[in-house]
Amino acid sequence: MRRALAFAALIAVSAAGTADAAHWTKYVDADGGLAWSYDGDYSYKDRATGRLVVMQAISKPAANMGPAGPGEENGVGSVVALDCAKRNMIVMSSYKPSAPLNIKGAWREDTPKKAEGPENQALFAAVCTLKDLPVK
C-alpha cells in the first residue's frame, strides 16, 4: 500500500512539473531579493498522515527568475509535508536543475523537524488556512 501511495505521489509530482500545472502564489520575500512561492495546484492533504503537502519554490523577481517546478531550467525548491497543529515539517525532497525531485517512498516515517525561520513561518501562515484542499 505504501508503495502504491509513493508511486501516486511521484506521478502527481511529475504532473506538477509541467508548464500548464503550476499556479504559484508568493508567500514571503526573503533576503537578497529572493521570494518564496507555493504551487496551489500541487498542494493537498495527505490521507495517511493528515499533513499538508506543498511544493514550494524560490525565485528572484528582479532577475525575472522563477518560481519554477522540477525539471524546469531555473526550478529550485522542495516538497514539504506540514503539520499545522504541531508546527513541524518533513522535507520530502528538494530539487534544482542539477538534481531532480526524488520523493522517497518512506517519507512518512521520517522524524519531523520544528518549522523555524521567517520563511517557514510564512509558509505555515499561507497554507494552513487553505480550505477545500484535495485529499490524496
Average pLDDT over residues 60-67: 90
For 99, the grid coordinates are: 538534481
**pLDDT value, residue 22:** 80
What are the Cα distances from residue 4, in Å, to 8, 9, 78?
Answer: 6, 9, 22
For 32, the grid coordinates are: 537578497
Mean pLDDT (the chain, rounded) = 87
Average pLDDT over residues 4-23: 46
**pLDDT value, residue 21:** 57
Delimit the domains of the chain by residue range.
2-127
Average pLDDT over residues 66-75: 93
DSSP 19-56: TTT--EEEEEE-GGG-EEEEETTT-EE-TTT-PEEEEE
